[in-house]
Amino acid sequence: MSATFKYPFDLAKVRLQSQLLSSADGAVRFKGPVDCLVRTYKHEGVRGLYRGLPVPMVGSMMEAATLFLTYSTFQNVVRRYNGYSDGAELSISQHSLAAACAGFVTSFAVTPIDLVKCKMQVQMMHTHLNPTHIPSSSTTPRPQSQFPFQLGTSKSPHPQAVATSTMIRTVSGQSPVASASLHAPRPIGPIELVRNIIHTRGLRGLWVGQSGMLLLETIGAGSWFTMKELVAGFLRRRRDRVEQEAGLYDILDPSTTAKGKQRALLPWESAVAGATAGATCVLALYPIDTVKSAMQTEEDVTRKVGSGKVQTSSFLKVLKRVYAVHGVRGLYSGCGMTVARVVPSSGIVFMVYDVSSRWIG
């Protein structure tokens, strides 16, 4: 239920990030998250808002399972390396190392799923014409010839794009939007999309954007778990101090007397620590996510699908292109909506994880 509610906002985030490579002068299809959701519903209906939903539902379960399993595994590796007993509390730096290693491993598992999800989410973006001009923050924009094709222009390096553009302008005297809807490519499902990727790029094509995902998962997981432990430690100390002052500190609590272990977090403490960690990581690492999404959908938003062998731009090249045209604002496109979505979900994830760990352990 939660995934169904949040999915349109994730779709809007990816579309806002992906459109950043569609022009050289800052012209974009959507002015913001609300505009993106409204126009997606207007042109594609409810189905458009939930395009590709089954993929992230499977992907989120796989990511969570892989991340927390590898995190626990690397925690045990650190304990054995340092001669600690099972379940002994680790330092913040040791938590960070275990989490970063877990994120590194997880990135290879989730990149193909994330790639398919992002490609499905931007499939029908070309039905949204009338790009909005957002002035560039750069005083020296790149020449037009170095940037992707825009709908409605007469210049295109790809014959397929020329044909599509001409068709949109001339068919039956209809408006551009109506013609675009008639002649837009048929959206395809995840299985067919995977086949097309492998046929065009080979098996390695499923890991387009891996460099961005590796950075995002490795740094993100490390900082996510680290921030959670920092906030959790603060809340533990605060509770200990309050209970000691009130004479309520329970010395018979097994979690306070076991050597090397800390008191278990209360559910609300886990939730607050997790929510804080989620918000902090999104704000710090969102530009990496933007570049990753732009890399994965570059050929889709620039109308190069089916045009032959496509050379994917590198992480640094995409980062420079987005920053040159859209500046810092572009790198944080859709960030506010993402923070609002991540805060409750991150809090719930850690609350469930901590409670489950106590039951299992």
- Where are the chain's structural domains? 2-145+190-360
Structure tokens at 172: 């039956």
| pLDDT at res. 132 | 60
Residue 169 has a CB neighbour count (10 Å cut-off) of 14
| pLDDT at res. 156 | 40
Rounded Cα distance, 348 and 270, in Å = 8
Rounded Cα distance, 150 and 37, in Å = 21
| pLDDT at res. 148 | 37
Residue 299 in contact with residue 157, Cβ under 8 Å? no
Distances (CA, A) of 182 to 39, 174, 175, 302: 17, 10, 11, 19
| pLDDT at res. 227 | 95
3-state secondary structure 127-194: HCCCCEECCCCCCCCCCHHHCCCCCCCCCCCCHHHHHHHHHHHHHHHCCHHHHHHHHCCCCCCHHHHH
Find the length of the chain: 361
| pLDDT at res. 210 | 94
Residues of the chain whose pLDDT is less than 50?
136-183, 252, 254-260, 305-308
Look at residue 262 and give its three-state secondary structure. Answer: coil
Rounded Cα distance, 241 and 229, in Å = 18
pTM: 0.75
Q: Which residues pair with 132 in a beta bridge?
A: 28
| pLDDT at res. 144 | 40
Burial, 85: exposed, middle or buried (Cβ in 10 Å; 0-12, 13-18, 19+)? exposed
| Residue 160 one-letter amino acid | Q
CATH architecture of the domain 2-145+190-360 equals Alpha/alpha barrel (1.50)
